[in-house]
Amino acid sequence: MKTVGIGVLFSMLWASASVATKFGVRSAPPLILANLRFFLAGIVLLGYCYGISKDKIYRLPTATEWKQLAIFGFLNTAVYLGLYVYAMKFTAAGIGSLAVSTNPLLIVLFSSWLMGRKPSAAEILSIILGMAGIAFATYPLLGNQSTSLMGIGLLMLSMVVVSFASVYYARVTWTLPNLLINGWQVSLGGLFLLPVTAIFGDIPAFRPDATFWYSVLWLSLAVSVIGLICWFYLLKLDTVKASLWLFLCPLFGFSYAWWLMNEPITWYTICGTFLVVLGLYIGQRQRMKKAK
């Protein structure tokens, strides 16, 4: 029951990121929201590792580890989350959650490419279904200005980047604890994004009201800290089974968007979500067979 509870909590927190981001970009330019989120999450994680915890496993990275953390932080935080937060200004919250769920499908594709093997028919089918599902759910939203083609393009580009970052993470033999990896990669990602924010962040438009700070605190503490702690716990138990919790993310994501932002749930939404979940199921079934 403990694992089930942590899995459900992860899905609920992970799916909430798109709605929290939508609230945040109402009060601040996306890049400013992203940078403050990264630095706050990094301060909390590194503060715990080096300040509160007395465990000796929390050491400073070696020269090689700094390079690995920098690459991972650049891809996983600066580029992926920078693009994602910016895309959410032009995309409905529910679509943001649905797009995140395609991550495992793209990881399969990139893994096959980097390993020099041809993707199986089931893997290709899972990716086609996932992309078709997003297109189906997005179609009616393009007419009411809640979602734009530019937003969808940036969103899907961010999914490609995070999938590549995930494959890179899996190919590195990490000796640092997960909390330390996450703390440093999100902090380094924030540093990489800072010059871009300073130049293109539209600082005069920043309004640090209560809605903005609630959004930043939720994204930093609930999603980037608690959510990732749950994710690393699930990965440690079983990598394949951990990915199955992503099935719940679209369901929670559209529920949050309907409840908090009055986004409609239509037959397009239901059918699109079904296609994405079906694609996830086909892709994960292949991985589970290989894991046995």
Summarised one tens digit per residue, pLDDT across range 83-100 is 999 999 899 888 988 888
DSSP character at residue 101: T
Residue 236 confidence (pLDDT) above 80: no
CA dist., res. 48 & res. 237, Å (int):
23
CA dist., res. 81 & res. 108, Å (int):
20
**Structure confidence at residue 147 (pLDDT):** 82
Residue 252 tokens, joined: 């929670």
Specify the number of domains making up the chain. Answer: 1
Q: In 3-state terms, what secondary structure has residue 102? A: coil
CA dist., res. 74 & res. 184, Å (int):
11
**Each residue's pLDDT tens digit, 70-86:** 999 999 999 999 999 99
Give whichever of 16-20, 164-168, 263-267 has the largest mean pLDDT: 16-20
**Domain span including residue 187:** 2-291
User: pLDDT category, 161, cuts 50, 70, 90?
Assistant: very high
Among 272, 289, 1, residue whose Cα is nearest residue 137: 272
Q: What is the mean pLDDT of the chain?
A: 87
10 Å CB burial of residue 225 (0-12, 13-18, 19+) is buried
**Each residue's pLDDT tens digit, 118-139:** 777 887 888 888 888 888 888 8
